[in-house]
Amino acid sequence: MKCQILDVYVNIRRWGGHVLLAICDVEILGKTLRDERIVFNVNEGFYKGLKMDVDEAVRLIDQSTIVNMVGEKIVMKAMEKGFVHPEAILKICGVPHAQIVRM
């Protein structure tokens, strides 16, 4: 039996033909990230959903029209898989954040 580490929270919302996927690393859920210009709340109401392995979460990106992700594990894995360009990653207090929008 394979041991699975549950790295991220995934929240999926559907409306019309759109799918919004919100993903965050488990350890930053509920935290507020602050730097000189940005205050970013990793809000439980937006991000908290199913807890799953980061690889499983990245596979959901293909099925989504809008993806909002925050955290080292999820953003780096999405970049590694070619979903996010390194220059599209915003760091807030050193924590990576990225978005994908498909029209």
Catalogue all structural domains in the chain, each as residue range(s) with its CATH number: 8-101 (3.30.1860.10)
18, 66 contact by CB (below 8 A): yes
pLDDT band at 82 (very low <50, low <70, confident <90, very high): very high
16-56 tens-digit pLDDT: 999 999 999 999 999 999 998 899 999 999 999 999 999 99
Q: Give me the phi and psi of 76, to 5 degrees please.
A: -65, -40
Instruction: Please state whether beta strands 18-25 and 66-70 pair in parallel, antiparallel, or not at all (unpaired).
Output: parallel
Global model pTM greater than 0.85: yes
- 101 pLDDT higher than 80: yes
